[in-house]
Structure 1
């Protein structure tokens, strides 16, 4: 199967921030908060979070806050709910959630069902929305094939399925899912190479090692796929010389696919990696400590 190049992946992630004029750094200029979440979570799953200066990260994160309470993708940019979730995940990961004005932040969240539900759950403020109505909307996005679309009647897609299943898992509403039917649809996403795609007739992509696997874990059907072949596909997408993971073998690596590749391996219980929570997309020990107070 091969080995995960841990030290090289760590160096690759840390190098992105240092190379301010590099291509990868430039293309994530706007969604840098997302990139920070992907990179930091990857480091934590690899057991290497101590390689970064937490106070420096927190200082930068707080400079991205808008007066509305929400956060932007980078300093001086407009706030967005997606970047606000990444911010909350980063601060939760670093055990620095106390720097937030939680009441102000939770009020700023108003749309995007999974992101809002996940973020409010982490902040322990789910009561600020009508959870029953939010769940009802997610359920109306369910299709006859067992999958979910982005809106009622929309095509089933693995990425959107994760959002819907994650929202239902966090709200304790997984009983609305036909687990066998959805499990079948998700397992059909595995192709001959062992990789997973997002919908029928598409190429495999390492990122679906998260979108598909996490959903299968949440509905207890992950044993329906060939986990060894999938792990081999992810490992084959590594840049064994410089570190990082790409979407498919021999393509250019990036922090997005590096995170989802390592997260996928974590769900596959790859040796040496920390466990990741399939609904919150954070290490299990962080979720237990911060969200469930265990």
Structure 2
């Protein structure tokens, strides 16, 4: 064990649990401005609690969570919005499915008809070049391709008809430096690397990649001496990249290419030791997003040390839930 490991800030588990529970009671002006992120925020909160083995009826009661998720059903589109009466979007639909999986592995809150409508909604978003739109308004991003592939995998509805064109689109977004952009020709970014590598992993197409080149680009994201990762060259480190970078390296079998002790210390230093939560950098404002991905990063580093659930680097869900997910149908 390195000296870095022997000189770590404490992990304030109970305060993080309280921080997440109290998010819903904080009805500030900013709360109402973030309606478009509410389903994603609920996914971040449930994932954090589940990873810490703290998701139960005292923290986030099942009946209230499922009631909220189902209140976001958009009957016109046949999928989920992020807030009641919001249009359906691929991002909020995946988050809704993940949350329902946490409480009901068989997605039983959904009827067969609703599941079929979700599948139809997702498939309708795929374009001829293999990419996916986020919704009916047409924005394209490799995030949406990963999200669609992940959601169809959760629903056991992933087919070669979908994965063939999607794989081609993702490979078209691969850059000379070893990273991926949001569309072909876009700048490489660590979050886009995750969604592209993750989608290819689900589709069993990782062999199409030069994993050494990608891993080199990813390992260069560690900003020393802080130990944190950045998303692009010459940028500041940010806790969320503890997930986006380390998950990608984990999928590629190269997690040991970075200094995990320094990364662990960076994450722990970004905690608010008084009220809980994790921020992007030390002494900044905490939020549920960075709390989720900071704790997911700690699970990737050493889930046993923290008595966490082991996180799946492909799905950002505990492995005990994803272990039976199927990749695709022939």
Query: Given the two structures, how large is their TM-score scaled by the length of structure 1?
Result: 0.96
**Which residue is 1:274 aligned to?**
309
Structure 2 distance, partners of 1:280, 1:40, is 14
**Which residue is 2:28 aligned to?**
21
Structure 1 distance, partners of 2:55, 2:235, is 35
SS class of match (1:261)? helix
Distance 1:128 1:89, change over 3 A: farther
Match of residue 220, structure 2, among 160, 170, 188: 188
**Which residue is 2:99 aligned to?**
90
Where does structure 1 differ by over 4 angstroms across 4 or more consecutive aligned residues?
Answer: none
Query: Do the aligned residues in 2 keep the contact of 1:107 with 1:128 (CA within 8 Å)?
Result: no
Q: Is 2:60 aligned against 1:52? A: yes
Deviation at 1:127, TM superposition (A): 2.3
SS class of match (1:108)? helix
**Which residue is 1:156 aligned to?**
188
SS class of match (1:17)? coil
**Which residue is 2:258 aligned to?**
225
Question: Which structure carries more helix by proportion?
Answer: 1
Q: Is 2:284 aligned against 1:251? A: yes
Q: Is 2:117 aligned against 1:104? A: yes
Deviation at 1:26, TM superposition (A): 3.3
**Which residue is 2:237 aligned to?**
204
**Which residue is 1:37 aligned to?**
43
Deviation at 1:48, TM superposition (A): 0.4
Structure 1 distance, partners of 2:108, 2:232, is 40
Structure 1 distance, partners of 2:301, 2:278, is 16
Q: Which runs of 5+ in 1 are unaligned?
A: none
Structure 2 distance, partners of 1:188, 1:226, is 11
SS class of match (1:185)? helix
Query: Do the aligned residues in 2 keep the contact of 1:72 with 1:84 (CA within 8 Å)?
Result: yes
SS class of match (2:22)? helix
Structure 1 distance, partners of 2:160, 2:120, is 8
Q: Which runs of 5+ in 2 are unaligned?
A: 1-7, 126-131, 133-143
Query: Do the aligned residues in 2 keep the contact of 1:159 with 1:212 (CA within 8 Å)?
Result: yes
Give aligned pairs, total.
291
Q: Is 2:210 aligned against 1:178? A: yes
Match of residue 2, structure 1, among 3, 9, 14: 9
Distance 1:157 1:42, change over 3 A: same
Deviation at 1:27, TM superposition (A): 4.1
Structure 2 distance, partners of 1:144, 1:30, is 35
Distance 1:248 1:27, change over 3 A: farther
